[in-house]
Amino acid sequence: MTTLLLPLLAVALGLAALVWSADRFVDGAAASARLLGVPALLVGMVVVGFGTSAPELTVSALSAWQGNPAIALGNAWGSNICNIALILGLTAAVAPVAVRREALLFDLPALVAVTAASWWLVRDGGVSRANAWILLGLFAAWLAGSCLVAMRTRPSAAAADAEAPGGGLSGRMAAFWTLAGLALLVLSSRALVWGAVELAQALGVSDLVIGLTVVAVGTSLPELASSVAAARKGEDDLAVGNIIGSNLFNTLAVVGVAGAIRAMPDCDPAIAGRDIPAAFALSAALLLLGLPRWRGRGARDGRLGRPVGWLLLAAYAAYLADLVLDAAR
Specify whether the backbone of 40 is left (phi greater than 0), alpha (psi in -120 to 50) or beta. alpha
Domains of the chain: residue spans and CATH: 40-154+200-328 (1.20.1420.30)
What is residue 168's predicted lDDT score, i.e. its pLDDT? Answer: 65
Across 34-38, 157-161, 187-191, 237-241, least confident range: 157-161
Q: Where are the alpha helices (DSSP H) in the chain?
A: 5-36, 40-43, 51, 54-65, 69-81, 89-94, 101-102, 108-121, 129-152, 171-202, 207-209, 216-219, 221-232, 236-248, 255-261, 270, 276-289, 306-328
How far CA 299 is from CA of 95, 103, 241, in Å, comes to: 19, 14, 20
pLDDT in tens, 121-167: 888 767 888 999 999 999 888 878 777 766 665 544 444 344 344 55
Kindly report, residue by residue over 74-122, the tens digit of the pLDDT: 888 999 999 999 999 988 888 888 787 777 888 889 899 999 998 988 8
- Tell me what pLDDT residue 65 has: 83
- Whole-number Å distance between alpha carbons of 236 and 153: 17
Question: What's residue 113's pLDDT?
Answer: 93
pTM: 0.76
Alpha carbons 87 and 276: distance in angstroms, whole number: 18
| 249-280 confidence digits (pLDDT tens) | 899 999 999 999 988 877 778 888 889 999 99
Question: Phi-psi region for residue 306, left (φ > 0), alpha (ψ -120 to 50) or beta?
Answer: alpha
- 185 pLDDT band, cuts 50/70/90, is confident
Give the separation between CA 320 and CA 304, rounded to whole angstroms.
Answer: 23
**Which amino acid would we find at residue 276?**
I
